[in-house]
Amino acid sequence: MKNWLTPTFSTKSSASRAGNCSKVVVCVLDAGPLIHLDQLGAAGLLSEMGTVFCPTVVLSEAEKHRPGINARVEFIHAVEPSRSQPARLGTAAGLHAGELAALAWAEEFGADIFLSDDSLAREAAGEMKIKVCGTIGVILQAVKNGALPAAEAHRLLRRIPTDSTLHLKQALLESAIASLR
């Protein structure tokens, strides 16, 4: 795993500076999608979202739940936000240290997407005008990117209730599965 304590990155790739306007998508990760996708053997799909940054407090939390996970996700860049919580967030009630750190980093460095399955954290990101995506969205995006066949995505989605600790409504799961057709 890359450790960028003071991350520097460009929102444009070298190709875009040469005239091709493809933007690098900057994502900041909360523990949920990392843990849940790892439980499904699919943590590598996170790399399909863009350049993934993750506060060290979140990586530590994930490591507690999934020993060895950090070695399996070397594409994730470990970071430290300069603040413990975002300035633009009105209230932090109910949010954990990892969620606050991820949102603070997203605010500080202008992340495009906040990857989280936690409803309160997703709501907070929405207040901050940051796009959100969770475990299901990561799987669907991998299909859209051509990195995962729809049949495999269908199998992963069907395994969520039995093989992961992600709690979700059956209707949401069925809707995601239906979108693969």
All structural domains of the chain: 23-178 (3.40.50.1010)
Write down how long the chain is. Answer: 181
Residue 38 has what pLDDT? 98
Has residue 91 got a pLDDT over 70? no
Residue type for position 105: W
Gyration radius of the chain over CA positions: 16
Say how far apart CA 146 and CA 155 lie, in whole Å.
Answer: 16
Q: Interhelix angle for 56-65 vs 31-39, to 10°?
A: 30
Residue 22 has what pLDDT? 59
How do residues 105-134 score in pLDDT, each as one tens digit? Answer: 999 999 999 999 999 999 999 989 999 999
Has residue 8 got a pLDDT over 50? no
pTM of this prediction exceeds 0.75:
yes
DSSP track, 101-157: HHHHHHHHHT-SEEE---HHHHHHHHHTT-EEE-HHHHHHHHHHTTSS-HHHHHHHH
Q: State the CB neighbour count (10 A cutoff) for residue 147.
A: 14
Residue 12 has what pLDDT? 31
Say how far apart CA 120 and CA 24 lie, in whole Å.
Answer: 27
79 alpha-carbon distance from chain centroid? 14
Residue 2 has what pLDDT? 36
Residue 17 has what pLDDT? 34
How do residues 10-39 score in pLDDT, each as one tens digit? Answer: 333 333 334 444 568 999 999 999 999 999
User: Do residues 104 and 81 touch, judged by C-beta distance below 8 A?
Assistant: yes
Name the more confident of 150 and 94: 150
* Confidence band for 57, pLDDT divided at 50, 70 and 90: very high
User: Do residues 115 and 26 touch, judged by C-beta distance below 8 A?
Assistant: no
Three-class SS string for 18-70? CCCCCECCEEEECHHHHHHHHHCCCHHHHHHHCEEEEEHHHHHHHHHHCCCHH
